[in-house]
Chains A and B, each alone.
Chain A
Amino acid sequence: MGELMARCALRDAQAFAQLYRHTSGKLYAVALRILRREDWAEEVLQESFVNIWNHVGEYTAQKSAPMTWMTAIVRNRALDWLRRPNLEHGSEDYDLLLDAVPDPAPGLDAALQGRREARALADCLDVLSADQRQCITLAYVHGLSHGELAQHLQEPLGTVKTWIRRGLGKLKGCLERSNAT
């Protein structure tokens, strides 16, 4: 994948097409999970790949895996899209969608048994309290904001913010310890 990125930086259109074939399914799914609407996810995917093509030359300077870099672009675009001020969704529709958001925890454990980093993250998520874990996974996986989390979990906003802040702190400590061993 790194080689494909390098060829894209050299404006190799075939390499870009190959990169799209390899990654668009995953990236579309990531966008879809956050946006929950196919038309929005298509827009965001399109914007993201144009962005990837335009900025792939900067990628080499970064210290992240190609897929992590591309996923971050898609996630940021999706979050920006979701929170643009004039978003024309009826708020009721969105609340309904929100109610349909499943708790990601059950299936997650199994999915996180693959690569080493994933197992480390799964182990460290287990160290968190159930509330902290739920907030962090819902925020990341479905793009929920502090306010949406508070609404979804029927907890005060301040409580949710504290769970997230403390949970992230604990997560980092745990992952650093597991990296050191």
Chain B
Amino acid sequence: MKYPSDELREALAAEYALGTLQGRARRRFEHTLKHDPALRRHVAAWQARLDPLNDAVAPVAPPARVWHAIQRRIHPRTARRGLGAVWDSLGFWRGAAAASLAAAVILAAGLGSLSPEPTSMMVAVMTDDAAQPRLTVSWDSDERGDKRMRIRVLGHAEMAPDTAWELWMLPGGNRKPVSLGLITTHETQNLVLPRTVSTQVNAAWGLAMSVEPKGGSPTGLPTGPVLYKGQSTAI
């Protein structure tokens, strides 16, 4: 949704930060925010302007059960209750395409059977332009040792002749993508990460896959169209 005037954008950003933008207007605004960095800056500026109003609030210690509940949600290892717990911790995908959720479930089901003694996991559900999940990638967030990504190609995928699929880490911010290597169209596959990137991949924003000439990108950066991408998260 495009808002017609700067004045309206500014006014909506102010009321959003104040909390008085509601219902459909608020949802529409939040949707626009995702793709509109300038509007996000307006909102951040208003949040900063109004923030001192919180100075008047005296802290209140929350009950310990809140922290325990947070722990259970972010470290499935300490309190794992099968698929239910994983589903819960994937709650942040609720806002994304419903289809991604389906992929997350497939993935979660796979994880359960793969790892009898689960450590903390990272996953990325990579979607195409139509927000359809196409690839899921998961790895142990443990920083030690070699890092192996498990990749699952969803549905039927075809690679054009004389091309290659290259997987990229997107560090986030303005930093350039970093190549993780080439992948195939096989339904399940593993990719061992170069040691130089294995320590950074947990903190990266997410992953992307581009179409490159046979043998991979000649420049070290994506040269072909980015077909799929997705944000990574800990489960």
Contact = CB atoms under 8 A, between A and B. Distances in A.
Interface of A: 9-11, 13, 16, 20, 24-26, 28-30, 32-34, 41-42, 45-47, 49-51, 53-55, 57-58, 60-65, 67-68, 71-72, 75, 79, 83, 104, 107-108, 111-112, 114-115, 117-118, 121-122, 136-137, 139-141, 143, 145-146, 164-165, 168-169, 171-172, 175
A47 B15 CA distance: 23
Contacts of B233: 54
Contacts of A145: 20, 22
Chain B contact surface mostly: helix
A72 B47 contact: yes
Interface string B9-52: 01100110111101100000000000000001100100111111
Given A28-B60, A57-B172, A11 B22 contact: no
A54 B60 contact: no
Contacts of B160: none
Nearest to B74: A53
B202 A11 contact: yes
Interface residues of B, number: 51
Contacts of A16: 74
Contacts of B53: 108, 112, 121, 137, 140-141
A165 B62 CA distance: 35
Contact of B203 (A11, A13, A55, A136): A11
A25 B61 contact: yes
A11 B233 CA distance: 10
B68 to A, nearest CB: 10
Contacts of A122: 52
Given A29-B57, A42-B62, A117 B48 contact: yes
Interface of B: 10-11, 14-15, 17-20, 22-23, 40-41, 44, 47-63, 65-67, 69-70, 73-75, 89, 91-92, 120, 141, 172-173, 202-205, 233-234
24 contacts: A20-B67, A28-B59, A28-B62, A29-B57, A30-B57, A33-B57, A42-B62, A42-B65, A46-B66, A49-B70, A50-B89, A53-B234, A57-B203, A60-B172, A61-B172, A62-B40, A64-B48, A71-B54, A121-B50, A139-B18, A140-B19, A141-B56, A146-B22, A168-B18
Given A50-B70, A139-B19, A168-B15, A68 B48 contact: yes
A41 B48 CA distance: 23
Contacts of B69: 46
Contact of A136 (B18, B41, B92, B234): B18
Contacts of B203: 9-11, 57
Contacts of B74: 16, 50, 53-54
B70 A42 contact: no
Nearest to B70: A49
A62 B141 CA distance: 25
A9 B63 CA distance: 25
Contact of B47 (A42, A68, A107): A68
Contacts of A32: 60
Contacts of B63: 42
Nearest to B65: A42
Given A29-B60, A50-B92, A54-B92, A24 B67 contact: yes
Contacts of A75: 19
A140 B202 contact: no
A79 B30 CA distance: 13
Contacts of A33: 57
A12 to B, nearest CB: 10
B214 to A, nearest CB: 33
